[in-house]
């Protein structure tokens, strides 16, 4: 169908892209339709959607150096410079297909969602301090990326998406169990909210508002972390509703 889907009808006017950068949760790892969240949001907004989720990605540099090319700060550098040589050397065919899509779409990005924090918690990345752009930390990686994105794409409506509640890899409640640095998931969520306030952009707090918890998670998290089809749909509807009520 030509044009853009706008509430079930095709619009002949191209209005830009909704791009969502993030982790395996954004990418939809593990289920057939897990990657549809950005498409749901795009349909709500009447925009074409690009899923820029990369499994294992952090906001700043990764605990495993080989993963650094898909960190948010590295992706932002590649998007702005159009130099994807480091990313392509990772050799992942699904990822490689996304790089030219992002290059082509970003000049026309209308809404940009950044969904990080899950792997920063899981891989014991330091949180850092507000005002720092040291990409070795969570706050620094976010801040570095946001400054560059806002400078290069000033018309884009940028917002942050925090992690929702999930289980640790060994099945424990992240409300009660810290990571290897002694930090809780909620500490990364709080840091993300503070970064959003620093840059005067919206933050969708999924940890507080998505409604996924220890009592119902089996319906929304296939393995305690990644959303199945129902979870992906709930996330898409929640993001779409947030954007239409915020911007």
pLDDT of residue 4: 39
CA atoms within 13 A on the CB side of 246: 17
pLDDT of residue 98: 87
Q: Which residues of 122-135 are buried (b: 16+ CB within 10 A; e: fewer)?
A: beebebbeeeebeb
- Count CB atoms within 10 A of the CB of residue 149: 22
Residue 247 CA to residue 232 CA, distance in Å, equals: 22
181-237 pLDDT per residue, tens? 999 999 999 999 999 999 999 999 999 999 999 999 999 999 999 999 999 999 999
Residue 213 CA to residue 26 CA, distance in Å, equals: 19
Sign for the CA dihedral angle at 58, 61, 143, 189 comes to positive
79-136 pLDDT per residue, tens? 999 999 898 877 566 677 888 899 999 999 999 999 999 999 999 999 999 999 999 9
- In 67-201, where do the E strands start and end? 109-115, 157-161
pLDDT of residue 14: 73
- Count CB atoms within 10 A of the CB of residue 14: 11
pLDDT of residue 90: 74
Domains defined for the chain, CATH in brackets: 4-246 (3.40.50.1110)
137-149 pLDDT per residue, tens? 999 999 999 999 9
Residue 2: pLDDT band with limits 50, 70, 90: very low
pLDDT of residue 91: 59
Residues 6+ positions from 217 with CB-CB distance below 8 Å: 165, 166, 167, 224
Local structure of residue 112 (DSSP, 8 states): E
pLDDT of residue 3: 40
pLDDT of residue 76: 97
pLDDT of residue 94: 62
Which run of H or E residues covers position 203? Answer: strand 203-204
Q: Average pLDDT, stretch 162-167?
A: 98
Residue 8: pLDDT band with limits 50, 70, 90: very low
pLDDT of residue 111: 98
Residue 10: pLDDT band with limits 50, 70, 90: very low
Closest CA to 137 of 71, 69, 90, 81: 71
Residue 7: pLDDT band with limits 50, 70, 90: very low
Backbone φ and ψ for 11, nearest 5 degrees, come out as: -105, 135
**119 burial level (CB within 10 Å; 0-12, 13-18, 19+):** buried
pTM of the model as a whole: 0.92
Q: Average pLDDT, stretch 164-189?
A: 97
Residue 32: pLDDT band with limits 50, 70, 90: confident
Number of H helices, E strands in the chain: 11, 7
Closest CA to 139 of 198, 203, 226: 198
């Amino acid at each position: 169908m030509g044009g853009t889907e706008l509430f079930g009808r095709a619009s002949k006017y191209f209005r830009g892209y909704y791009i969502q950068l993030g982790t395996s949760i954004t990418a939809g790892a593990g289920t057939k339709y897990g990657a549809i969240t950005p498409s749901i949001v795009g349909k709500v907004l009447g925009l074409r959607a690009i899923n820029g989720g990369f499994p294992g990605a952090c906001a700043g540099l990764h605990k495993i150096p080989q993963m650094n090319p898909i960190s948010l700060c590295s992706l932002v550098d590649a998007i702005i410079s159009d130099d994807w040589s480091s990313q392509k050397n990772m050799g992942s065919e699904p990822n490689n297909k996304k790089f030219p899509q992002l290059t082509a779409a970003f000049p026309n990005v209308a809404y940009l969602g950044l969904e990080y924090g899950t792997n920063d918690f899981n891989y014991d990345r330091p949180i850092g301090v507000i005002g720092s752009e040291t990409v070795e930390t969570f706050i620094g990686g976010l801040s570095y990326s946001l400054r560059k994105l806002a400078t290069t794409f000033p018309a884009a409506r940028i917002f942050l998406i925090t992690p929702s509640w999930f289980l640790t890899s060994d099945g424990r409640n992240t409300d009660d169990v810290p990571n290897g640095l002694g930090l809780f998931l909620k500490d990364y969520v709080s840091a993300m909210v503070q970064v959003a306030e620093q840059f005067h952009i919206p933050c969708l707090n999924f940890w507080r508002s998505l409604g996924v918890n220890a009592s119902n998670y089996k319906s929304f998290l296939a393995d305690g972390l990644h959303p199945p089809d129902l979870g992906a749909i709930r996330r898409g509807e929640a993001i779409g509703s947030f954007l239409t009520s915020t911007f």
